[in-house]
C-alpha cells in the first residue's frame, strides 16, 4: 500500500495512537498509518470536519461502529478502537499489509480465473460474517479490498451507510465508485445483502478483466448504465462469466446469496487450479486411454462410477459406445494374436490399434463382429505357443511309438 508523508495540517496523535504516514483519503476522511504504545499498527480514519458537524451523521456513524464491533471473521479488518464523541470522530482498524486489489490489477494486469475465484470465495465468506452482524458494506470495490499474505481482507465495511442519505449527484457526497454501486443504491431504494453481491460481482469482473463492467465516463453516465444497461464482460473467463453475470442482475432477488456464491466459487477455484476450465469436462481414464466424459453416454458414465471400486470398466462388458460388444475370451490378456478358440475373442484394448500377428492390410484397422481376426489373406494368424505345444506332443508320441516298436522286436 502506498504511503505518503504527513502534511502540515495532519494531526500527529489521535487518541492513544501516534500517526506516521498517510495511507489515503476518501469521501469520509483521511486514513493514516498509526501505532499504539505496544507497537500494534492500525489504519486510523479521521472523519471530515463538515461531516463531524452533522448530528445525523454522528448518530448513524455510532450505530454502524457498534455493528462493526460485532463482526467476526478472518476476511475483514478488525475494529480496534473508535471515538465517536471527539471533535472529529475517528475509528481504527487492524492494519493489513499488502496492495489493494485495484492497485494489484493496475500494476500487474488481470488475475487468472483460479485467482479470481479464490479471492471471490474468501470475500464471499467475509460478507457472510458482515451480514450476520447486521451490516451491509455498501461500498465494496477493488480499492476496499486488500491482498494480505494471509488472504484478501475487506476494509471500511458498513461505514459507507453513514453517508448513504446524501444525494449521489451532489458533489463531494457520493460514496464509492459509480461502476460498483448496485442499481437500488442509485435509485435510493432500500439496500440488502444482495447489494453487496452486486458490488462483489463488479469487483470480480474488474479483477478478471482489469476494467469496469460498465465502462468509463462521468458519474451520471456510469450510474445510468448501472440501472439501465447490461454489464459488458468482455475478456471474462468462461468459468466465471455466468456466475458474475448472475451477481450483476438488476433485480436483487435474482442474485445468488453470499453463501451460494462462496460455495460455487470454491468449486471453480478448485477446478481451475487443476488446469481444467468450466467448458472442458474432466477426463476419465480407461486402461491408459483418455476418454472425455462430455462424449460418453449417460449409461457409460454411471457404470464408470459403479465399477470404479472393482477395477472394472464398462468397455470390458461391451458398453463402450464406440466399440462393438465382444465376450471375454478364455485366453490370457498378455498373449499376442487372437485366441485359437472360435467361440469368441478377447475384449478390445483401447490403448492399442494394432497387434503382432495381424500386420498389414485391413487386419490392423479394426474388427468386424466378435470372431477372431484374420490376416489380409483370410487365414487366422499362427499362434507360436500353440505350434510349440503341438510340436512337443508330436515328438513325445513319436518317441513312445519308437520305443514300443523296439521292445516288440526284442521279444
C-alpha distances out from residue 372 to 320, 341, 349, 352, 365, Å = 20, 8, 14, 16, 14
Which string of DSSP letters, residue by residue, matches 42-98?
Answer: EEEEEE-HHHHT-HHHHHHHHHHHHHHHT---TTBPPEEEEESSSSS-EEEEE---S
Query: Can you tell me the distance from the alpha carbon of 379 to that of 397, in angstroms, rounded to the nearest whole number?
Result: 28
Let me know: does 130 contact 154? Beta carbons within 8 Å: yes
Give me 241's grid cell: 462469466
* DSSP tag of 154: E
Q: Half-sphere exposure (CA, 13 Å, Cβ side) for 198? A: 30
* DSSP tag of 217: S
* Residues, the chain: 411
Which string of DSSP letters, residue by residue, matches 188-216?
Answer: TPPP-HHHHHHHHHHHHHHHHHSS-TT--
Give me 183's grid cell: 442499481
**With 0-12 CB in 10 A as exposed, 13-18 as middle and 19+ as buried, what is 172?**
exposed
Report CA torsion sign: 3, 8, 9, 13. positive
Q: Half-sphere exposure (CA, 13 Å, Cβ side) for 81? A: 15
Identify any residues that bridge with 283 across adjacent strands, giving them in sequence order: 292
Report CA torsion sign: 100, 138, 129, 113. negative
Let me know: does 202 contact 179? Beta carbons within 8 Å: yes
* DSSP tag of 37: T
Q: Which helix (H) or strand (E) holds 21?
A: strand 17-25
Strand 79-83 relative to strand 90-94: parallel, antiparallel, unpaired?
antiparallel
Catalytic positions, written as ranges: 139
293 C-beta neighbours (distance < 10 Å), count? 12
Q: Which helix (H) or strand (E) holds 29?
A: strand 29-35
Amino acid at each position: 500500500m502506498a504511503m505518503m508523508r504527513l502534511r502540515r495540517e495532519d494531526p500527529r496523535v489521535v487518541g492513544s495512537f501516534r500517526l506516521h504516514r498517510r495511507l489515503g483519503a476518501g469521501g469520509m476522511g483521511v486514513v493514516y498509518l498509526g501505532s499504539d504504545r505496544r507497537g500494534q499498527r492500525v489504519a486510523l480514519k479521521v472523519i471530515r470536519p463538515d461531516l463531524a458537524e452533522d448530528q445525523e451523521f454522528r448518530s448513524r456513524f455510532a450505530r454502524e461502529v457498534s455493528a462493526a464491533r460485532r463482526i467476526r471473521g478472518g476476511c475483514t479488518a478488525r475494529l480496534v478502537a473508535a471515538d465517536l464523541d471527539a471533535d472529529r470522530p475517528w475509528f481504527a482498524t487492524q492494519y493489513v499489509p499488502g496492495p489493494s486489489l485495484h492497485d494489484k490489477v493496475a500494476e500487474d494486469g488481470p488475475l487468472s480465473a483460479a485467482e479470481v475465484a479464490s479471492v471471490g470465495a474468501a470475500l464471499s465468506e467475509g460478507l457472510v460474517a458482515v451480514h450476520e452482524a447486521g451490516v451491509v458494506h455498501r461500498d465494496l470495490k477493488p480499492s476496499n479490498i486488500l491482498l494480505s499474505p494471509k488472504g484478501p481482507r475487506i476494509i471500511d465495511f458498513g461505514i459507507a451507510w453513514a453517508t448513504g442519505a446524501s444525494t449521489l449527484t451532489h458533489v463531494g457526497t457520493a460514496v464509492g465508485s459509480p461502476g460498483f454501486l448496485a442499481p437500488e443504491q442509485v435509485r435510493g431504494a432500500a439496500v440488502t445483502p444482495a447489494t453487496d453481491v452486486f458490488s462483489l460481482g463488479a469487483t470480480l469482473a474488474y479483477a478478471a478483466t482489469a476494467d469496469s463492467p460498465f465502462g468509463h465516463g462521468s458519474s451520471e453516465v456510469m450510474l445510468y448504465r448501472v440501472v439501465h444497461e447490461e454489464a459488458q464482460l468482455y475478456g471474462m473467463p468462461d468459468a466465471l462469466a455466468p456466475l458474475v453475470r448472475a451477481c450483476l442482475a438488476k433485480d436483487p432477488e435474482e442474485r445468488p446469496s453470499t453463501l451460494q456464491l462462496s460455495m460455487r466459487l470454491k468449486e471453480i477455484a478448485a477446478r481451475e487450479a487443476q488446469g481444467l476450465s468450466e467448458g472442458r469436462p474432466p477426463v476419465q481414464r480407461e486402461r491408459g486411454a483418455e476418454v472425455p466424459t462430455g462424449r460418453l453416454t449417460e449409461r457409460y458414465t454411471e457404470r464408470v462410477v459403479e465399477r470404479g471400486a472393482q477395477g472394472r470398466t464398462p468397455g470390458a462388458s461391451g458398453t463402450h459406445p464406440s466399440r462393438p460388444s465382444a465376450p471375454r475370451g478364455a485366453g490370457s490378456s498378455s498373449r499376442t494374436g487372437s485366441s485359437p478358440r472360435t467361440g469368441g475373442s478377447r475384449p478390445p484394448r483401447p490403448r492399442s490399434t494394432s497387434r503382432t500377428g495381424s500386420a498389414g492390410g485391413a487386419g490392423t484397422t479394426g474388427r468386424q463382429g466378435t470372431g477372431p481376426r484374420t490376416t489380409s489373406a483370410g487365414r487366422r494368424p499362427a499362434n507360436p505357443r500353440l505350434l510349440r505345444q503341438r510340436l512337443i506332443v508330436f515328438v513325445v508320441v513319436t518317441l513312445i511309438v519308437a520305443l514300443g516298436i523296439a521292445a516288440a522286436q526284442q521279444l
